[in-house]
Amino acid sequence: MKNSEPIITMIGEIQIASKKRIYTISAITGLLALVFSPFGFNTQIGSTTISVPWALIFPIIVSLSYGWKSGLIAGLSGGALFPFLLWPNNGYANLITFSLFLSLYSILGLVIQKQYIFKKQTYYYQLIIFLIIFSVV
């Protein structure tokens, strides 16, 4: 009999599914974020349109649940590609937005993974500071 991949993997003291299943869920979640991104909230103020794609929550949940690698996979499979779909005329600005969202998903997963490993509350403060800086930039 061949040894198959374990059904359960441990991160810290938390049991999660196998890596293959996690990466599949991450890729599907990224694709769902890309598919549902046109259905965001749009507000027109004068000649300016403000679009808030609510589908960003899918890769964020995956990143917070499974770590930075899963966040990176969810972002690359579609979670960070939505600017190219929603605003194709923006050109190079979409590349900057893509890289910012990809880094957001990865860093959120990294921060939450370190919080589970070291069990310190300071990572919550680092997460809050990172999100404030990210929202200002």
d(CA 9, CA 15): 6
Are 29 and 131 spatial neighbours (Cβ–Cβ below 8 Å)? Answer: no
**Other CB atoms within 10 A of residue 60 CB:** 20
Residue 105, in any domain of the structure: yes
Residue 2, in any domain of the structure: no
Residue 58, in any domain of the structure: yes
Residue 127, in any domain of the structure: yes
d(CA 81, CA 95): 9
Are 136 and 101 spatial neighbours (Cβ–Cβ below 8 Å)? Answer: no
d(CA 114, CA 81): 27
d(CA 105, CA 68): 7
Residue 104, in any domain of the structure: yes
Number of residues that make up the chain: 137
Number of domains in the chain: 1
Residue 3, in any domain of the structure: no
Task: Report how far Cα 107 is from the mean position of its chain's Cα atoms.
Answer: 9
Each residue's pLDDT, cut to its tens digit, for the chain (137 residues) gives 455 555 555 555 555 668 888 899 999 999 999 999 888 888 889 998 887 777 888 898 898 888 889 999 999 999 888 889 888 898 888 999 899 999 989 888 887 776 665 565 666 666 677 777 766 65
Domain range for 123: 8-136
